[in-house]
Structure 1
Amino acid sequence: MLFASRQGAITWLRALDLAWAAVSLVLAAAVSTALTPETASAAHLHLDAGSLALFLGVFLATISVFPLFGLYTETALYSRRETLKATIKAVTGVVMALLVAAAVLRPPLATPSFLAAYWFLAAAGGVAVRLVTRRLLFLGEAQGLLRRRTLVVGTGTRAQEIARDMLAHPEHGRRFMGFVADAWETPVSGPQPETFRLVARLDSLSDYLRGHVVDEVVVCLSLEQLCTRATALVSTCEEQGVSVTVVTRLFDLTNPHRRPGGHGGEVAVTISNTLADERERIVKRFLDVTVSLTALVLLSPLLAATWALIRLTSPGPALFAQERVGLGKRIFKFYKFRTMVQNAAAMQEALEAQNEMDGAIFKIKNDPRITPLGRWLRRTSIDELPQLFNVLCGDMSLVGPRPLPLRDVERIEKDWPRRRFGVKPGITCLWQINGRNNTPFERMMELDIEYVDTWSVAMDIRIMLRTIPVVLSMRGAY
């Protein structure tokens, strides 16, 4: 899939809108030249200062105006009528801004035919991009790929209404997994869907979250229960890196005037320790894609040479693939260059007693399974380069907590380190630049949680820059 979530689709829409604005400018200039050949020498992509300022104005206007018309909301993704109206209004707003800029700058490019062509192309392209994205979302959600796996805490009338709404409207992006409660508060009326079942008790929610992939917990309890249960429930979800939305019907009114909330128009509060700032997420993903793609192109000779050396010096494949735990405890295929003998996984059980790391992680400084070439690849960190493919695919980020194997995750005894699963894993992280493998396990987890709590794009850039001298020094790598 091009994107892995509805938020990812919206991120792509922002990028595609800017790309299509550039294409529309070029095509509109060509149309204007064809319709008014007497102005061809002055109009056709003439890069004078006024035209360049006009180009920049188009991008700034697109960035500023499109969000004002709700074009980056789920409604715009799922409602064709709203998409059509909002896109036409937004593009008209951009053209109005261009008219003002043209009156001030007077660039030769800004002819009536150019502006008309730009309006038509930008509007048609904006609608087409959203319809295609909408179709891809429907295909992904029909396969259960893009829906947030959601638990409902409580079994009252309102909790059942929320669950039925999720089942009736899968296009809203939630996959209902079941109820968390000690008993049925209100008998189920009407036909009972297969997923209407109690999957965990209130005091065993932590155990359920530990063993299942859950993206969101919706707490829908009575006010009396909220007073006694809310803090413990929210703390449990926070420990596991799962966002929690608290929904409560404060007023039982027949026809209230209200603004829609997160669930059926009710008052809702969402608490999440994940990366919540949309603009920061967009910039982070942009950095991930551009840096990983550029690095893969520039380092392709090194990647090819490493692949060949591994195949020539030891039997077995050059790439090592392993299941690791990523965002939301989802399993993904993790790639790196093979640095051990082919049957290394089968030999690990016999070496467990020699483990030199405390906590859940397995590491031996002089691991007998490592090949001579593999030891050099580890010292130089070249073995990590295939993870750039994981970043490009969206399973990982350049910066984030290191992805742990299933074996290590199963051995994490405390719950607080599980908050690390609320963000994408990364190639480098805080403990990689603060001692690498010489860092004790608990300190590794503390640094991962510090990253989750203080993340920013500026912090990512600092970590990446500090990673370079650490890798070159080869300290703590084995």
Structure 2
Amino acid sequence: MLACNRQGPLTLVGRKSLRNVVSRARRQGRCLRSVLVAGDAEEIHELVSRAGDLQKSGWKIDGICLATNNTAVATPVAIDDIPILGTDDDIARIAQLHKFDAVALLPSGRHTHSRTRKLSWDLEGFGADLLIAPVLMDVVGPRLHIAPLAGLPLLQMSAPRYTGPAWAVKNICDRVFALLILISITPVLFAIAAAVRYGSPGPVLFRQPRVGRGGKLFTMYKFRSMVADAEQRIGELADQDVGAGVLFKVVDDPRVTPVGRFIRRYSLDELPQLFNVVKGDMSLVGPRPPLETEVAQYGEDGAARRLFVKPGLTGLWQVSGRSNLPWEEAVRADLRYVENWTFAMDLSILRRTLRAVLRSDGAY
């Protein structure tokens, strides 16, 4: 029994060490599976745009088989610099010729049941795996189940739930931990407040209306990192806006004070949002809290679903690139959180947030 108890921690340490070794190798371009992707151009572009995440998962897309185009439009030679090697009529032949490790089928009207089954048999002949992507790429984890029906393996997607015991526990934990953090960092808060107060004229705190869960407005707090009249000077910087979609972002924003630049670099300006968490307006982890003007511009990309849950002090948007993240990627990250929330995800995001803040990735 004692030997078994000792094996548990050793096994965990061994697995963690092995994961670190594999992750490091993948970042260096090693230990990757060569994958042939087949599907419609739009779906392929959507997948290829996630190249960083694909590499972390051990994928390397080396070729494309484009769905047969019966129109007069010319077939491109590449999509996002990845060569198109043929059509979806040639998948098995091309996979064998180029020795691909796996074939990934993306949603397409061409991939019927009979064609997909025959492809799986053809790939068996030379050991290539078949990966089939569901129509909804961002839904993973506990919401997806295989539900056999009359011999067909159907992918069942359960409806997301944003109420119940788990969410109640999350709400309680958010408030308790935020309060404990505030108590423990009180000296730090006073030091930052003093630096902001004497660094430039104006109030210590910056208050701004943000949109919370269900579209409810609340006042979000931050340490002021810009000059007092920053809001009135937005028009002067319109030609320097590097934001995409509905975001307004300026690199080396002249409105940022010297103290503000430092506290932004390490996200210290966000600490007063812990009071928002204690009040119940925000969560420790959640989607980025949007402005009213941003919400008014939400389109059909699903961005409005971010309002199904409380906005967060940090989230997948924070650990995925902060200000460097394009609008589409920020929306996708938030939706991935909303659709697949778990306590384990919250803990992982909090851990990754600390690492991102210490590295000051994407902060400006």
Scaled to the shorter chain, the TM-score interval is 0.5 to 0.7
Cα distance in 1, alignment partners of residues 213 and 160 from structure 2: 12
Which residue does 2:220 correspond to in 1? 334
Counterpart of 2:246 (choices 345, 349, 360) is: 360
Which residue does 2:31 correspond to in 1? none
Taking only aligned residues, the RMSD between alpha carbons, in angstroms, comes to 1.4
Residue 291 of structure 1 and its aligned partner are, at CA, apart by 1.2
> Which amino acid counterpart does residue 413 of structure 1 have in structure 2?
G
Helix, strand or coil at the partner of 2:305: helix
Moved over 4 A (4+): 271-274
1:275 lines up with 2:162 in the alignment:
yes
Which residue does 1:386 correspond to in 2? 272
Counterpart of 1:350 (choices 197, 215, 236) is: 236
Cα distance per residue 1:354-382 (max 9 Å; x no partner): 11111111111110100011000100110
The percentage of counterpart residues that share the same residue type is: 46
Cα distance in 1, alignment partners of residues 161 and 284 from structure 2: 16
Cα distance in 1, alignment partners of residues 165 and 276 from structure 2: 22
CA contact (8 A) 2:288 2:317 kept: no
CA contact (8 A) 1:273 1:422 kept: no
Cα distance per residue 1:207-253 (max 9 Å; x no partner): xxxxxxxxxxxxxxxxxxxxxxxxxxxxxxxxxxxxxxxxxxxxxxx
1:369 lines up with 2:255 in the alignment:
yes
> Which amino acid counterpart does residue 412 of structure 1 have in structure 2?
Y
Greater Rg over alpha carbons, structure: 1
> Which amino acid counterpart does residue 352 of structure 1 have in structure 2?
A
Label 1:455 to 1:348 Cα distance change in 2 as closer, same or farther (>3 A). same
Which residue does 1:444 correspond to in 2? 330
Pairing of 1:94-173 with structure 2 (within 5 A) = none
The total of aligned residue pairs comes to 207
Cα distance per residue 1:176-231 (max 9 Å; x no partner): xxxxxxxxxxxxxxxxxxxxxxxxxxxxxxxxxxxxxxxxxxxxxxxxxxxxxxxx
Residue 272 of structure 1 and its aligned partner are, at CA, apart by 6.5
Cα distance per residue 1:238-272 (max 9 Å; x no partner): xxxxxxxxxxxxxxxxxxxxxxxxxxxxxxxxx97
> Which amino acid counterpart does residue 361 of structure 2 have in structure 1?
R
> Which amino acid counterpart does residue 339 of structure 2 have in structure 1?
D
CA contact (8 A) 1:400 1:427 kept: yes
Counterpart of 2:298 (choices 401, 404, 412) is: 412
> Which amino acid counterpart does residue 275 of structure 1 have in structure 2?
Y
Cα distance in 2, alignment partners of residues 448 and 475 from structure 1: 18
User: Quick check: which one's helix share is greater?
Assistant: 1
Counterpart of 1:402 (choices 288, 291, 295) is: 288
Cα distance per residue 1:382-436 (max 9 Å; x no partner): 0000000000000000000010112222233335110110000001111211111
User: Quick check: which one's strand share is greater?
Assistant: 2
Which residue does 2:341 correspond to in 1? 455
CA contact (8 A) 2:220 2:276 kept: yes
CA contact (8 A) 2:213 2:310 kept: yes
Whose relative contact order is higher, 1 or 2, with alpha carbons under 8 Å and at least 6 apart? 2
> Which amino acid counterpart does residue 449 of structure 1 have in structure 2?
L
Helix, strand or coil at the partner of 2:227: coil
CA contact (8 A) 1:283 1:457 kept: no
Helix, strand or coil at the partner of 2:248: coil
